[in-house]
Amino acid sequence: MLPGSTLVSTTWSILVSAEGLAGGFLTTAMLSYFFFERFGVSEGVIGALFFGARLMNAVSHLGAAWLAKRIGLVNTMVFTHIPSSLLLVTVAFAPNFEVAAVLFLLREGLVEMDVPTRQSYVLAVVQPEEAA
């Protein structure tokens, strides 16, 4: 690897690892328990909510490419990940399940946009001859 590419790759790996470790603490089981305890919703409703959340995740992957073409890879990562984190915090303060569900689904529509853009960014930074 070239020195500049190595520094960027190492820094990027540390940042992504820290973000992945922190995100790993928020599990589906923990969120399910929160919705059940806080709002008293049934397992079926929680299941439907998570089904909708996974659909929003899929849509966010497609939306990431569209957005990255307009504002760039790094901007897409930053300007979707920060609002998604803020939306997650607001779920805890929602007055009822309906509001919490909408906030959660909005969050899920943004949270995965950094994945394809992050992969594209790494491919753009690392030269083809360095990847082998």
| Residue 7 burial (10 A CB sphere; 0-12, 13-18, 19+) | exposed
Burial of 69 (0-12, 13-18, 19+ CB in 10 A): exposed
| pLDDT > 70? residue 51 | yes
Question: What distance in Å separates the CA atoms of residue 114 and residue 61, rounded to the nearest whole number?
Answer: 8
pLDDT value of position 3 = 61
Tokens of 63: 């939306």
111, pLDDT greater than 60: yes
What is the C-alpha to C-alpha distance for residues 6 and 130, in angstroms, rounded to an integer? 9
> What mean pLDDT value characterizes the chain?
87
Cα separation of 8 and 75, whole Å? 17
Give the pLDDT of residue 33: 96
Task: State yes or no: pLDDT of 1 exceeds 90.
Answer: no
Q: What is the mean pLDDT of residues 47-71?
A: 94
